Amino acid sequence: KQEVTQIPAALSVPEGENLVLNCSFTDSAIYNLQWFRQDPGKGLTSLLLIQSSQREQTSGRLNASLDKSSGRSTLYIAASQPGDSATYLCAVISMLTFGGGTRVLVKP
């Protein structure tokens, strides 16, 4: 059974610092992995989807990497802003499994 873990559960950084969010999965036979952002009381907003054949995917200040052999994906957010404060979730879509999320606070 696939297990997805996100550590740390919470993270606080000063504005302008780069964010590094980790996602680990136990079964490397994944098809793809998707990163989401969730604001309080809201649904999930898709950020990036990375296919198993890709090593990384970029969108603006966001970059997601995938290393299937080590069972890890990392989401980098460059030059963080207070508006980046939210919970970030990763999901192994093909296995319908989400991590518990990392709650991020960017302090002005």
Partner 1 sequence: GAGVSQTPSNKVTEKGKYVELRCDPISGHTALYWYRQSLGQGPEFLIYFQGTGAADDSGLPNDRFFAVRPEGSVSTLKIQRTERGDSAVYLCASSLSPNSPLHFGNGTRLTVT
Q: Which residues bind partner 1 (CB under 8 A)?
A: 4, 6, 31-32, 34, 36, 42-46, 49, 89, 91, 93-94, 96-101
Q: Which is nearer to partner 1, 34 or 73 (CB)?
A: 34
User: Contact at 8 Å (CB) between 81 and 101?
Assistant: no
Q: What is the rounded distance in angstroms from the CA atom of residue 48 to the CA atom of residue 29?
A: 19
Closest distance of CB 16 from partner 1, Å: 28
Q: Which is nearer to partner 1, 13 or 49 (CB)?
A: 49
Q: How far is the CB of 44 from partner 1 (least distance, A)?
A: 4
Please tell me the distance from the alpha carbon of residue 25 to that of residue 42, in angstroms, as a whole number: 25
State in angstroms the smallest separation of the CB of 21 from partner 1.
13
HSE-up (13 A, CA, CB side) for residue 60:
7
The owner of tokens 């970029």 is 58
